[in-house]
Structure 1
Amino acid sequence: MQIQLNPNLGTTQLASDFQQKKRLRIDNILSADSAEAILDCLKNQTAWQLLYSNADSSPTRLNNQQLEQTTIEQIKATHAQVYARATSSYQYWYKFFPMVEAITTGQVTEKSPLNEVTKFLNSAEFIGLARKITGHSSLVKIDPHATLYEPGDFKNLHDDMRDDKDARDKSIRRYAVVIDFTKNWSVNWGGEMQFYPGQNPTTSESIFPGFNALTLFQVPTLHRTNMVAPYAAKGRYAIAGWLRDDPNITRLDLGDTPVEAK
């Protein structure tokens, strides 16, 4: 299927709202059919991996095969270690699916909604919208991945500046994008993104999971994903990524000037 934007977005107002706090929530970002197809794919067609942090906050990923080879006792012990470290350092534990990696290695077919949404998020339509809203005319790409926070999953305070990538990649994270695909979420279940004005703050702003809703914010911004309550009835689905500059990429489809002409 073809992923489509909601045709009724008011770009001028969205840009004005974003400039006030460098943060914005856009409800009904996609067409209804697009959002439903993506949710179905996330729930029923996605081979989720377990992603968690080591002692130095670096990531460890376990795919389905690795999880099958890991005992419940080992998982519980690792989980307890992450929780213990989380009292005083940046730690996380949630489900993850590397969309770009899966597409390049053939794990995701061309007809999959995850392939379609990856192409859409890198299309002139979406990148052009992001440029208009942020006022940042050099954005050229986004690297989406899928997340699932189930009961007990969390991600501690961070600012998105950490960037584990190939040294040859010269791109820079400018804005974070999170598109929620969770219906009928209760605020009692936690799992909200919480934004903070600084370290050890006394106030915060919360954005709870929703359906077909995009959250956009400037990098760096201090935030965390609060733990999903153990009694939550379901998980929190989203597709996230970072809008980037990249001096090695020219978007002719967005009217950029070719490098040799500059």
Structure 2
Amino acid sequence: MNLELNPLHNFADYSEQYGQDKRLRLFDVFMPKTAGDIAQHIHQDLSYKNAFVEDGNFKAMSTKELEALGSEKQQALTKAIYKQASDGVGFLYAKCQLHQNPSDLSLSQQVLTWLNSAELLNGIKAMTGHEDITGANAQATRYYPGHFLTRHNDVNEHENRRVAYVLNFTPKWHPDWGGLLQFYHDDGNPKDTWVPIFNSIALFDVTHPHAVSYVAPFAKNPRLAITGWFTAS
């Protein structure tokens, strides 16, 4: 199956809107069936690891690896992760890093190819003013109850990040479930919040402080997305 994009979107046309606050949200990125197929694919077909910070170090463990720790160690680890979060540090969510592979014809691979296509990259450069953008990376993410991403910005000198993006693929999401993309002023006060609306894309400059709010225990579905950064070489 090939990706079917919404032909009405030309990212270069949104430069004025993006320039107002170096943020933009667009809806109906893909045609409805394509968006639904991507959602099903990234939920069911990919292999995820649980990403978190422990003692200041990034960790990624499969569910089987976590289960092998035993219930007592799992509980201690969760407690440590939440303790760090209470001090404003860390995250907990499921991720699957996507790598370019020409022989892989899966929908997630096609999304990665589209993100790195000359047409899209030229549109993103024109929209954001970052003329040095040369590519994009991507990871699929699943946020379950108890998952979160504390307040931070995405500036990374080593990776030359310029613009962050979030492609949302949760078919139905209620804002009471959490998992909201929260933006902040530089002084830490909340600015505004974007609900992860199905088949939408959020684009924002990496200097924006932001977070993904805690997913409530009563959330009915996982929060599905493909996220990453447009980067310079």
User: TM-score, with normalisation over the residues of structure 1?
Assistant: 0.83
Partner of 2:19: 19
Partner of 1:134: 128
- Of residues 213, 217, 223, the one that matches 1:236 is 223
Asked if structure 1 preserves the Cα contact closer than 8 Å seen for 2:22 and 2:204, the reply is yes
The 1:69–1:172 alpha-carbon spacing in structure 2 relative to 1, beyond 3 Å, is same
Partner of 1:143: 137
* 1:116 to partner: Cα distance: 1.3
Query: In structure 2, what is the Cα distance between the partners aligned to 1:182 and 1:232?
Result: 12
Asked if structure 1 preserves the Cα contact closer than 8 Å seen for 2:15 and 2:127, the reply is yes
1:60 equivalent to 2:48? Answer no
- When Rg is computed on C-alpha atoms for both structures, the one with the higher figure is 1
Query: In structure 1, what is the Cα distance between the partners aligned to 2:85 and 2:195?
Result: 22
The 1:11–1:241 alpha-carbon spacing in structure 2 relative to 1, beyond 3 Å, is closer
1:186 equivalent to 2:171? Answer no
Q: Deviations over 1:94-127 (max 9, x none)?
A: 1111112xx56xxx96121111111111111221
User: Quick one: percent identity of the two aligned structures?
Assistant: 28
Q: Deviations over 1:44-79 (max 9, x none)?
A: 1111110111222x3100025523523233222211
* 1:224 to partner: Cα distance: 0.5
Asked if structure 2 preserves the Cα contact closer than 8 Å seen for 1:47 and 1:64, the reply is no
Once the two structures are superposed, the pairs formed by residues 1-262 of structure 1 within 5 Å of their partners are 1-9=1-9, 11=11, 13-56=13-56, 58-100=57-99, 110-162=104-156, 171-201=159-189, 203-246=190-233
Query: In structure 2, what is the Cα distance between the partners aligned to 1:48 and 1:138?
Result: 32
SS at match of 1:53: strand
Query: In structure 1, what is the Cα distance between the partners aligned to 2:126 and 2:37?
Result: 27
Query: In structure 1, what is the Cα distance between the partners aligned to 2:11 and 2:156?
Result: 30
Amino acid at match of 1:119: T
The 1:215–1:140 alpha-carbon spacing in structure 2 relative to 1, beyond 3 Å, is same
> Structure 1: which 5+ runs fail to align?
164-169, 247-262
SS at match of 1:216: strand
* 1:231 to partner: Cα distance: 0.9
SS at match of 1:98: strand
SS at match of 2:165: strand
CA RMSD of aligned residues (A): 1.9
* 1:33 to partner: Cα distance: 2.9
The 1:43–1:171 alpha-carbon spacing in structure 2 relative to 1, beyond 3 Å, is closer
